[in-house]
Structure 1
């Protein structure tokens, strides 16, 4: 409670100290004042739809142009301050990888989570999208942790150790996985289309995503726009955004939507890669992840995503229409075209010395 003698700087300092005290608490039951969730994944894969549904916003999803931000609040109880969740969404699939570094900073890395939305209806693009986004995001996270280690080695070590807590110390897979530095969720979207795939194709995709999510210490779930699926999706996002309890139920049947929280799967349950032993012997791979990639590519050869070519001029996008700005833009475009025509005539009329 501010005192009458406190000036503006005293009050601001008290607020900052209060925030730091809250963020310094640890453990599953820790109280965190603010959290951040970063949505990445396939272009047109359903990231915005999932985010809006999780925030209970009845809006028609619009294409994400580049990097968009919104937030949500949730009260812990009656007459208690509301927790704040910052939501970032990267548009363009893998075409805007440089923007990954903007929402993740040393100031929020401790309370940061990543949600990757993968379009199950486009299996030939799935691995390439997943690989590129995870590599760039992890590289930036590792860089931040290295920088943080120079100024606050204790906090940097705590973040690294926390990533390993998803598995018990005696878990048989501890030596075979490489946990993501921050909480990671893989969401397979458009399950309503995926469920009509050939059973063998579904099995390969399910086993592969189970391996990848387990390897990175991530949670995995499949979803669609149907309300029963969205209920579980909202619960998982709320766990990341507001620290609510997460479901510990597991569904690993490839004939049903997968739902496997981080740390509740194992390589023995996933089974061997979907290929014959003789074929495995012919494949050279330096890591288990590389082996699964090569096997997945056999069934679903990577296609050229072509994200860069698909990016449209935002000035021509109806959702960003501004009458006055658009009118001025049209005038400047006309002036530019006139300049080009005049310049063209000037160059054509010039006489060049053929002896030069």
Structure 2
């Protein structure tokens, strides 16, 4: 009988533990455990659920997302091997429920986290505002969770005094385009322009403004960018590649398309400010806009072409029970009955108090 190798199960387990303790994090956010977290945020009714179901190959009708929802995906790596697991969170309500970002973004999953920002291309007037608020809210929570994770590691018995590598700060290659001019999002970020079929109905100049602006934003945050539509199998195939790259670490493909007349497909690191060019401001002198920085300049140019709508999602009704998209006839009828009973009770109580005041 051959001698058993010294690489026993215990040796392999010890090596795995050492790898985790040393901060063994993959380049795009995945850990050696085979579990990753993907957080979807974006435009209200922008198609996040539909895109997610298609990426998971689930043949079921999409339902409006109520606040924050969780699901998961699994992928077999091979015969008799543990499956990779992707924890998938989706935030509904556009920007109105951004406070809930703190729930899926925690110190426990920060090293395996990636974010997908879905922007509705058919509504360019609210696109910048949606992007800006959600990116800022997500970045703030990621940084907070990172700080908490680092403090937790340092508090462990026997922890090293040096700065821990458990922060998910992305270290870009030295040859990354415009490395010193951009502000990388702290975890892998994918920006998805949804409803490309409706976007095609815009005139050529407006499409150019949206396309160039999103290229700038994606490059500024060191994010990947893709335009897609659930009505196009070819575009959804490419979208699935990007999703599987974040969720399971698969190859995202090498396709790159920066032509504004076609759907944009630009993996992170494939663009540059030189290729993007200057903001498309044909009717105004850019120097007269008094921008504080390049991002502010692009914002001013974009909002000249697409003035932001005055309706703020924060002012919208936040009670899902009164939102028509969540209609449930039986439940709504019971709710109406209970509301009437409550109003009657309030009136009776008010009368009794008035009677007591008169008697006194």
TM-score normalised to structure 2 length: 0.84
Whole-Å separation in 1 of the counterparts to 2:340 and 2:183? 56
Whole-Å separation in 2 of the counterparts to 1:282 and 1:318? 44
- Report the alpha carbon displacement of residue 186 of structure 1 after superposing the two structures with TM: 0.4
Contact (CA 8 Å) 2:66, 2:320: kept in 1 or not? Answer: no
Whole-Å separation in 2 of the counterparts to 1:18 and 1:31? 8
Q: CA 1:318 to 1:247, structure 2 compared with 1: closer, same or farther past 3 Å?
A: closer
Partner of 1:3: none
- Report the alpha carbon displacement of residue 346 of structure 1 after superposing the two structures with TM: 4.1
Whole-Å separation in 2 of the counterparts to 1:298 and 1:327? 47
Partner of 1:206: 211
Q: Please report the RMSD computed on the Cα atoms of aligned residues, expressed in angstroms.
A: 2.9
Contact (CA 8 Å) 2:72, 2:85: kept in 1 or not? Answer: yes
Q: CA 1:148 to 1:120, structure 2 compared with 1: closer, same or farther past 3 Å?
A: same
Q: CA 1:269 to 1:316, structure 2 compared with 1: closer, same or farther past 3 Å?
A: closer
Q: CA 1:38 to 1:172, structure 2 compared with 1: closer, same or farther past 3 Å?
A: closer
Whole-Å separation in 2 of the counterparts to 1:74 and 1:222? 25
1:194 correspondence with 2:199: yes
Contact (CA 8 Å) 2:31, 2:112: kept in 1 or not? Answer: no
Whole-Å separation in 2 of the counterparts to 1:122 and 1:320? 25
Whole-Å separation in 2 of the counterparts to 1:270 and 1:192? 23
1:177 correspondence with 2:182: yes
Whole-Å separation in 1 of the counterparts to 2:84 and 2:57? 16
Whole-Å separation in 1 of the counterparts to 2:38 and 2:17? 18
Whole-Å separation in 2 of the counterparts to 1:19 and 1:144? 22
- Report the alpha carbon displacement of residue 17 of structure 1 after superposing the two structures with TM: 9.8
- Report the alpha carbon displacement of residue 306 of structure 1 after superposing the two structures with TM: 3.4
- Report the alpha carbon displacement of residue 315 of structure 1 after superposing the two structures with TM: 7.3
- Report the alpha carbon displacement of residue 148 of structure 1 after superposing the two structures with TM: 2.7
Whole-Å separation in 2 of the counterparts to 1:196 and 1:44? 19
Q: CA 1:20 to 1:139, structure 2 compared with 1: closer, same or farther past 3 Å?
A: farther
Whole-Å separation in 1 of the counterparts to 2:319 and 2:307? 27
TM-score normalised to structure 1 length: 0.85
Q: Could you give the per-residue CA deviations for residues 28-72 of structure 1, whole angstroms, max 9, x where no partner exists?
A: 597442100000000000000001111111111111110000001
Contact (CA 8 Å) 1:164, 1:179: kept in 2 or not? Answer: no
Partner of 2:147: 146
Of residues 244, 248, 261, the one that matches 1:242 is 248
SS of aligned partner of 2:252 = coil
